[in-house]
């Protein structure tokens, strides 16, 4: 269990990665190395879940961690949710498991999600519209959302441009249009009891994301995937004012380390009294830890 008194922050956005060499034939290792170059990540091979746990334990930070199931759209084999959960359970003092299931799997997706919620207590699911190839307001995903709303689970959606495939031929086949945060406005209307987190500063749709988060009580923003020194001024203003209880620290580990993110966050113009909420308390409330 996470001891809120001991940790200094909660990272709401980290990725579970299998070691390089597991899937050489499907191109995933090439994707990882290209992403590491794009983000300037300081590792040669992606860290395993135990290595991630050790890193966060040493930093005194808790983290939500998840795989991304995009095998239908990309051909990259998915990292089994059950395997991820088993490893995370061995590091429950610092890691909180989310799962990922491609919504295109329909009834299979709902069945797996229900099992993960009811048998393993999974509190949230990661969706990546660009990698999974769907608009978030596509009705095919609504049975999945109904399950999340029923159980009070969180839907964490990638928004904005992605570093995944950036610089690769044709963007590695990934279409940015799917990750416009405005599509989540429909989801927030149709599922007002579903907790929605829009991941990342949503370039080039930052103002759309801020509008949706301000207008819909069930929508939050995580600040992962960018160093805070690159945050647009309007995002900083909203963090300091009307969204101060709805913005969440996230790093996008292993591409960005939590230490780097937090160090850069200290240097931007955020009110001192709001910093504990943004780096820890807002996430703790959303996750039901306080």
Can you give the CATH number for the domain in which 79 is found?
A: 3.20.20.140
Q: What is the pLDDT of residue 290?
A: 84
Which residues are paired to 154 by β-bridges?
124, 195
Q: Which domain holds residue 45?
A: 9-286
229, 268 contact by CB (below 8 A): yes
How far is 150 from 148, CA to CA, in rounded Å?
A: 5
**Dihedral sign of CA atoms 140, 146, 151, 154 in order:** positive
**Dihedral sign of CA atoms 68, 286, 236, 242 in order:** positive
Residue 35, C-beta contacts closer than 8 angstroms, at least 6 positions apart = 41, 163, 164, 166, 255
User: Per the structure block, which two tokens stand in for 86?
Assistant: 């088993």
Q: What is the pLDDT of residue 20?
A: 54
How far is 39 from 211, CA to CA, in rounded Å?
A: 28
How far is 23 from 105, CA to CA, in rounded Å?
A: 22
264, 226 contact by CB (below 8 A): no
- As a whole number, the mean pLDDT across the chain is 93
Residue 36 placed within a domain: yes
Which residues are paired to 61 by β-bridges?
9
71, 89 contact by CB (below 8 A): no
Half-sphere exposure of 41 (CA within 13 A, CB side): 23
Residue 2 placed within a domain: no
pLDDT per residue as tens digits for the range 199-232? 999 999 999 999 999 999 999 999 999 999 999 9
Residue 126 placed within a domain: yes
- In a 10 Å sphere around its CB, with 0-12 CB exposed, 13-18 middle and 19+ buried, how is residue 212 labelled? buried
Q: What is the pLDDT of residue 19?
A: 61
Structural domains of the chain, count: 1
**DSSP designation for 280:** I
How far is 151 from 114, CA to CA, in rounded Å?
A: 9
How far is 43 from 228, CA to CA, in rounded Å?
A: 21
Residue 3 placed within a domain: no
| Model confidence, pTM | 0.94
Q: What is the pLDDT of residue 130?
A: 95
Q: What is the pLDDT of residue 265?
A: 98
Residue 46 placed within a domain: yes
How far is 287 from 290, CA to CA, in rounded Å?
A: 8
Residue 4 placed within a domain: no
Residue 1 placed within a domain: no
Q: What is the pLDDT of residue 39?
A: 72
Ranges of the chain whose pLDDT falls below 70: 19-27
Phi, psi of 162 (to 5 degrees): -120, 145
**DSSP designation for 268:** S
Provide the H-helix boundaries in 63-221: 71-74, 81-89, 107-120, 129-132, 142-151, 183-190, 206-215
Q: What is the pLDDT of residue 52?
A: 96
Residue 14 placed within a domain: yes
Q: What is the pLDDT of residue 45?
A: 74
């Amino acid at each position: 269990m996470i001891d809120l008194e001991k940790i200094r922050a909660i990272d709401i956005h980290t990725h579970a990665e299998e070691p390089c060499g597991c899937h050489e034939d499907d191109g995933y290792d090439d994707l990882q190395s290209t992403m590491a170059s794009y983000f300037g990540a300081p590792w040669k091979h992606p860290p395993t879940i135990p290595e991630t746990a050790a890193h966060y334990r040493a930093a005194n930070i808790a983290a939500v961690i998840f795989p991304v199931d995009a095998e239908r759209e990309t051909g990259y084999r998915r990292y089994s949710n059950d395997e991820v959960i088993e490893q995370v359970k061995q590091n429950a003092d610092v890691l909180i498991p989310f799962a990922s299931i491609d919504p295109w799997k329909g009834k299979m997706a709902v069945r797996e999600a229900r099992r993960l919620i009811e048998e393993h207590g999974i509190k949230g699911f990661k969706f990546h519209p660009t990698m999974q190839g769907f608009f978030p307001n596509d009705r095919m995903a609504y049975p999945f959302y109904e399950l999340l709303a029923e159980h009070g689970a969180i839907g964490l959606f990638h928004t904005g441009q992605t570093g995944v495939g950036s610089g690769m031929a044709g963007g590695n086949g990934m279409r940015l249009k799917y990750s416009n945060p405005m599509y989540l406005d429909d989801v927030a209307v149709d599922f007002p009891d579903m907790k929605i987190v829009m991941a990342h500063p949503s370039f080039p749709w930052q103002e759309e994301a801020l509008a949706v988060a301000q207008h819909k009580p069930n929508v939050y923003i995580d600040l992962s995937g960018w160093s805070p020194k690159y945050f647009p001024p309007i995002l900083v203003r909203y963090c300091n004012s009307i969204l101060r209880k709805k913005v969440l620290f996230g790093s996008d580990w292993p591409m960005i380390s939590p230490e780097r993110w937090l160090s850069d966050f200290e240097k931007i113009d955020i009110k001192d009294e709001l910093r504990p909420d943004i780096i820890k308390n807002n996430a703790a409330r959303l996750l039901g830890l306080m």
